[in-house]
């Protein structure tokens, strides 16, 4: 669940200011955010994940007020509660696919890399159809397979909130469809909230709600 209230954010360098009067994403809700490039959609996701904090207002994710936490606690929170899918996958080229999926467990001590975590990583890979690619390096995978591996990484710690920033931007139509199906499927299966930033209007039909970002920041309202 995400709740933003009277939010003002601007980067230190200036030049951009994001204002959101109110945005709420319910538990288990699947929301698409659409809007023009450079309007601040990615910043919205960063605020929801606690990667950045607003200068004013509240951001509450999974009942935790992120703006009240220090950087270390927000990192821990992200590791445990947020799964983030990037447009350009951001897999580490020096790790094999399995280690990429297990990455959150290796970089945050609040997550314990045990047999169950490994089993879940393998199980997720099996579900998205890349189980046979686990020993390979990302460079040896197709783009669709890489994004599926990135989705597995985002889901492996059973996050309550899945954030995806144009996850299909680099994929062909077939892979687009497949990746979105996986995201919806996993969000439903885990009861996680799903927020996807996308330009692709063809994908919107599967979401419960679509937020027009321009309206959100302009009228300070979310739209259904």
Partner 1 sequence: MRGPLYLGWCYLRRHPAKTATLVASIAIVLFLPVGLNVLVGEVSGRLMARAEATPLLVGARASALELVLSSLYFDAAEPEATRWSQLLRVRESELAEPIPLYVRFRVRDQPVVGTTLDYLDFRGLRVAEGRPFAVLGEALLGAAAARRLEVGVGDAVISSPESVFDLAGVYPLKMQVVGVLAPSHGPDDDAVFVDVKTAWVIAGLGHGHQDLARPEAQAAVLRRDGRHVTANASVVQYNQITADNIDSFHFHGEPEALPLTAVIAVPRDEKAGVLLRGRYESPDEPVQIARPREVMRELLATVAAIESWVLAAIGAVAVATLATAALVFSLSMRLRRREVRTLTMIGASRASVFVLLASEVIFVAIFAAGVAGALTLAVRRYAAAAIQAWLLG
Beta strands 193-197 and 161-165: pairing type? Answer: parallel
CB-based contacts of 88: which residues, under 8 Å, 6+ apart?
169, 170
Residue 43's H or E segment, with its range, is helix 41-49
Give the x/- contact pattern for partner 1 in 103-142, rule: CB under 8 A: xx-xxxx---x-----------------------------
Task: Quickly tell me which residue has 């698409």 as its tokens.
Answer: 32
Instruction: Give Cα 91 to chain centroid, integer Å.
Output: 14
Compare residues 51 and 149 and give the one whose CB is closer to partner 1: 51
Q: Of the ranges 2-10, 16-24, 102-110, 121-129, which one interacts with partner 1 (CB under 8 A)?
A: 102-110
Looking at the chain, how many residues does it have?
Answer: 224
CB of 96 to partner 1, least distance (A): 8
CB of 150 to partner 1, least distance (A): 10
Beta strands 64-65 and 56-61: pairing type? Answer: antiparallel
- Which of 31, 43, 66, 84 is close enough to bind partner 1 by CB under 8 A? 84
Compare residues 19 and 158 and give the one whose CB is closer to partner 1: 158
List C-alpha distances in Å: 180 to 123, 169, 171, 183, 207. 18, 11, 11, 5, 10
Q: Of the ranges 7-15, 25-33, 73-81, 209-217, which one interacts with partner 1 (CB under 8 A)?
A: 73-81
Q: Which residues are near partner 1 by CB under 8 A?
A: 46, 49, 51, 71-72, 75-80, 82, 84, 86, 90, 92-95, 99, 103-104, 106-109, 113, 153-154
């Amino acid at each position: 669940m995400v709740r933003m209230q009277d939010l003002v954010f601007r980067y230190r360098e200036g030049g951009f200011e994001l204002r959101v009067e109110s945005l709420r994403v319910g538990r288990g809700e699947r929301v698409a955010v659409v809007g023009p490039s450079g309007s601040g959609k990615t910043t919205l996701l960063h605020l929801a994940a606690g990667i950045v904090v607003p200068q004013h207002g509240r951001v509450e994710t999974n009942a935790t007020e992120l703006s009240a936490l220090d950087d270390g606690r927000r990192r821990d929170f992200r590791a445990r509660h947020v799964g983030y899918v990037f447009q350009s996958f951001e897999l580490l080229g020096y790790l094999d696919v399995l280690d990429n999926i297990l990455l959150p467990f290796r970089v945050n001590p609040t997550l314990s890399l045990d047999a169950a975590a490994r089993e879940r990583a393998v199980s997720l890979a099996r579900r998205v159809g890349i189980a046979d690619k686990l020993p390979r390096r990302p460079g040896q995978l197709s783009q669709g397979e890489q994004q599926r591996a990135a989705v597995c990484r985002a889901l492996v710690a059973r996050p309550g909130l899945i954030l995806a920033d144009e996850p299909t931007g680099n994929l062909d139509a077939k892979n687009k469809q497949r990746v979105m199906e996986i995201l919806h499927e996993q969000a439903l299966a885990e009861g996680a909230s799903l927020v996807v930033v996308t330009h692709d209007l063809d994908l919107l039909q599967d979401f419960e709600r679509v937020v027009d970002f321009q309206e959100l920041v302009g009228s300070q309202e979310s739209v259904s």
